[in-house]
Structure 1
Amino acid sequence: MTPDISSAQQQRNHRIIVLALICLTLLGLAFRLYLAWQTNQTLPDTPARLKGDEPGYEGLAYALLKGYFFEWPGRTPIYPFFVAGCYAIFGRSPAAVVYVQAFLGATIIPLTFILARRFTGAQSSLVAAGLIALHPSLILHVSRVQTEILYAPLIILTVLSLLRALEQPQWQNFSLAGAVLAITNLCRPTGMLLLAIVPLLMPRQWSFKRKIALFMAYLGAIIIITAPWTYHNYRTHKTFLIYSVSTALLWQGSPEFYHLAYEQVPKRNLVQIWDEELNPARNGGHNAFTIEGDRYFTKRAIASILREPAVYVWYCLQKAVFLWLGNPMSDWPSHAMFNVEAMRPFFSPQRIVGIFWSRILPVFAALGMIVLRHRWREFLPLLLVCGYFTLIHSLTYAEVRYSEPLHPILAVVIATAAGELQRRLKLSSQ
């Protein structure tokens, strides 16, 4: 009788967990739909509502429907395809895109739960999913016509597929993992060198021949999926371009940019520097959104780094912090980090609380890894993924929005650490 009772209890617990996850997902969807509705109430349903990087993505999407296939090298194709699909169904309506993004954004809640279950129990996994369901910055992604809303679930799928390949080392699984990474890179190419961490994660007991074969399956899938896009770039622009231009990303991480952004008085924000230094009308005709302009600024960046390597190293160390806590030039008003008084003229009290919540999360994750230090090998894939993006943005340019798609990983660490602390407290009280 005992096994039957135990089995029935397990099934009952499983149903409760599934129901709780569904409720969390619906709760997260409700918040996202509310933000979408609120955003659409205050903005016109035209491209005039868009700002920053949004018009570039929207323009490419609309051009696709008009028969023009990515004639500009400034962006990769996945997110414009998504927007174009929305337009094909609902017409040229940014408001409709925002509503669809509410549903897309909610997918990271169950995906976070699935990722967390690889490291902790069901209850702690629900905590991780809950953190993401209520995550203010991830909810805010819904309102922006930018890649973050799609990139966040793709990053989780990339990690999940890689973990599965490492656990079940067959060439089919490594090929699938490579295919997912290729699609993620075609959404945003920052992870183009992420494949370099794969050999580091392969167990030592695997033979060298096996490692080579599985890595080639991983790399081969990436090449097969990426090659058509690279070929399109070659045909269109008559040059080898794997993904897209970087839009002067290295220059924005160079000592020359550092002096302009952080040392001049009065201090300027990113928009002002773009209007002055990256404006073709003022810099001799070099447009960072073109191949020529991007290469020009890359050469300037390299020259600047070679002139002042010590300044570059110091700036890189700062960018490692800026990525997770916010860049004072672009993410914090008046260059004042965590300054409530400086934020009040620009944000509501609720928004200030949300910003602090989102940007303090990496600190709790770091503390969580201290709690979980005895399990660091188990968490090595997550640590290497976060470390990779930290390194890339430290070398180039860092804003907090570049790290926000990685916050589900932070939520997994925090929830696992919380579960570990709870377990230790129970043991100590017995």
Structure 2
Amino acid sequence: MTPDILAAQQQRNHRIIVWVLIGLTLLGLASRLYLAWRTNQTLPDTPARLAGDEPGYERFAYDLLNGYFFERPGRTPVYPFFIAGCYAIFGRSPASVVYVQAFLGATIIPLTFILARRFTGPQSSLVAAGLVAINPSLIHHVRLLQTEVLYTPLILLTVLGLLRALEQPQWQNFSLAGALLAITNLCRPTGMLLPAIVPLLMPRQWHFKRKIALFLAYLGAIIIITAPWTYHNYRTHKTFLIYSVSTALLWQGSPEFYHLAYEKLPKRHIVQIWREELNPARNGGHNAFTIEGDRYFTKRAIASILREPAVYLWYCLQKAVFFWLGNPVSDWPDHAMFNVDVMRRFFSLQQIVCILAVRIFPVIAALGMIVLRHRWREFLPLLAVCGYFTLFHALTYTEVRHSEPLHPILAVVIATAAGELQRRLKLISQ
């Protein structure tokens, strides 16, 4: 085959891959727009449709448009700014936000392809993009006014920025990676300690001074972007608060909560516990969304952990599993994990299939890493990011929605492992 013919064939293959990726992105967009449309057909286009964490984000956004700049410490600014931007264009319309989120949610499809291309070939990368395009949980994010739909592409950009910095170790790349993480943390602050793993990912052969300089560039960008928000918190609340209050996150991961949620009968849903134990009208006036209330529950959590460290350790081990497979207190009906008979009382057969498919997704990814165990060093940054969030939520509290923004990373692992198995089968057949 002549070089000209080979070049023409490569160009044709490249065009095919681009068109397939465009098709997958449009498929993912269509499914998200359809869910947005169906959701808006059944709910009013007012804040009355919102539940759970949604009213808090919506209220912050509405207050922004009325001249009130985050006067309460309960949330970080990025997602409320996003909602406020939608409101500035379309008016106070949660339905419009859902439609915009459909487009935002579709961005993770090409981003997943770009991430996968760092580890595998174009065909397997398309598989990863396809898994993200049809992932029911990622599609479901668009219908709720919660951070996941924005946090997922931000996590992907953060990981891509970190990989580029490690591959091209220049201070500009590390500064960009730090800036991306800072913006991600201002959307959801659970990655605030993620910089601690960055020095561990730097190659051993790098000189120590070089590591320090690059890490300082990474950390400096985080500080520069985060500092205005931290200063706002200090000026408004007269206390040092980097991001926001944790809303009793550690207490919900303490032995005291464990006994309430998993041992005391009748077993209660997380919403019931919030209405009873975290209700200021019933707990002596301690509001977890205030600085005082959050500190009160943090002190209670620490006391509970010190009182029963063995129970806390056992609970942490369970939460490491709940992070990926779902927490019985919030993600499974009647606390019954993978119990189809119980699920049939609450969901249709189609919904059950989708839920189970998503919940076993991390298991398939774990099996994929077994296939790719000889390449574990190459995948170390991805494993470190997933391990960090697993550990963070194992020590505090978790629901399955906390791990769903990491599903594109799992898709990359699964697609790469599938491509590796295909390659091995071809070698065997030859």
Shorter-chain TM-score category?
over 0.9
For 1:35 and 1:343, how far apart are their aligned partners in 2? 22
Match of 2:388 in 1: 388
Match of 2:278 in 1: 278
Q: How does 1:31-430 map to 2 (within 5 A)?
A: 31-430=31-430
- Deviation string, structure 1 residues 369-403 (Cα, Å, up to 9, x no partner): 00000000000000000000000000000100000
Q: Which amino acid aligns with 1:373?
A: R
The Cα of 1:208 is off from its aligned counterpart by: 0.4
For 2:82 and 2:352, how far apart are their aligned partners in 1? 31
- Deviation string, structure 1 residues 128-169 (Cα, Å, up to 9, x no partner): 000000000000000000000000000000000000011111
Match of 1:26 in 2: 26
For 1:353 and 1:31, how far apart are their aligned partners in 2? 17
Please tell me the root mean square deviation across aligned C-alpha atoms, in Å.
0.5
For 1:90 and 1:29, how far apart are their aligned partners in 2? 20
The Cα of 1:362 is off from its aligned counterpart by: 0.2
Matched position secondary structure for 2:6: helix
The Cα of 1:344 is off from its aligned counterpart by: 1.4
Q: Which amino acid aligns with 2:83?
A: V
**TM-score (norm. length: structure 1):** 1.00
For 1:173 and 1:386, how far apart are their aligned partners in 2? 22
Matched position secondary structure for 2:193: helix
- Deviation string, structure 1 residues 226-252 (Cα, Å, up to 9, x no partner): 000000000000000000000000000
Match of 1:3 in 2: 3
The Cα of 1:349 is off from its aligned counterpart by: 1.4
Q: Which amino acid aligns with 1:184?
A: T
Q: Which amino acid aligns with 2:56?
A: G
The Cα of 1:341 is off from its aligned counterpart by: 1.3
The Cα of 1:351 is off from its aligned counterpart by: 1.2
The Cα of 1:67 is off from its aligned counterpart by: 0.3
For 1:175 and 1:288, how far apart are their aligned partners in 2? 34
For 2:98 and 2:357, how far apart are their aligned partners in 1? 23
For 1:276 and 1:375, how far apart are their aligned partners in 2? 49
Matched position secondary structure for 2:192: helix
For 1:197 and 1:23, how far apart are their aligned partners in 2? 37
For 1:381 and 1:80, how far apart are their aligned partners in 2? 30
For 1:61 and 1:368, how far apart are their aligned partners in 2? 41
For 1:99 and 1:274, how far apart are their aligned partners in 2? 30
Runs of at least 5 residues in structure 1 that lack an aligned partner in the other structure: none
For 2:132 and 2:22, how far apart are their aligned partners in 1? 13
Matched position secondary structure for 2:287: coil
For 1:427 and 1:20, how far apart are their aligned partners in 2? 27
For 1:3 and 1:368, how far apart are their aligned partners in 2? 37
For 1:170 and 1:26, how far apart are their aligned partners in 2? 36
For 2:359 and 2:115, how far apart are their aligned partners in 1? 22
Q: Which amino acid aligns with 2:23?
A: C
For 1:18 and 1:387, how far apart are their aligned partners in 2? 32
Deviates more, 1:282-291 or 1:348-357: 348-357
Q: Which amino acid aligns with 2:187?
A: C
For 2:286 and 2:265, how far apart are their aligned partners in 1? 26
The Cα of 1:183 is off from its aligned counterpart by: 0.1
For 1:342 and 1:76, how far apart are their aligned partners in 2? 37
For 2:16 and 2:265, how far apart are their aligned partners in 1? 58
The Cα of 1:30 is off from its aligned counterpart by: 0.3
For 2:419 and 2:281, how far apart are their aligned partners in 1? 57
Q: Which amino acid aligns with 1:322?
A: F
For 1:90 and 1:281, how far apart are their aligned partners in 2? 37
Moved over 4 A (4+): none
Q: Which amino acid aligns with 1:121?
A: G
For 2:146 and 2:118, how far apart are their aligned partners in 1? 30
- Deviation string, structure 1 residues 304-340 (Cα, Å, up to 9, x no partner): 0000000000000000000000001100000000111
For 1:391 and 1:406, how far apart are their aligned partners in 2? 14
Q: Which amino acid aligns with 1:3?
A: P
Q: Which amino acid aligns with 1:388?
A: Y
The Cα of 1:347 is off from its aligned counterpart by: 1.4
Q: Which amino acid aligns with 2:232?
A: H
**TM-score (norm. length: structure 2):** 1.00
The Cα of 1:348 is off from its aligned counterpart by: 1.6
The Cα of 1:409 is off from its aligned counterpart by: 0.3
For 1:332 and 1:401, how far apart are their aligned partners in 2? 12
Deviates more, 1:348-357 or 1:229-238: 348-357
The Cα of 1:197 is off from its aligned counterpart by: 1.0
For 2:72 and 2:17, how far apart are their aligned partners in 1? 47
Runs of at least 5 residues in structure 2 that lack an aligned partner in the other structure: none
For 1:344 and 1:38, how far apart are their aligned partners in 2? 22
Matched position secondary structure for 1:426: helix
The Cα of 1:345 is off from its aligned counterpart by: 2.0
Q: Which amino acid aligns with 1:99?
A: Y
For 2:19 and 2:353, how far apart are their aligned partners in 1? 29
For 1:347 and 1:101, how far apart are their aligned partners in 2? 25
The Cα of 1:13 is off from its aligned counterpart by: 0.3
Deviates more, 1:285-294 or 1:349-358: 349-358
For 1:257 and 1:235, how far apart are their aligned partners in 2? 33
Instruction: Using the aligned pairs only, state the percent identity.
Output: 87
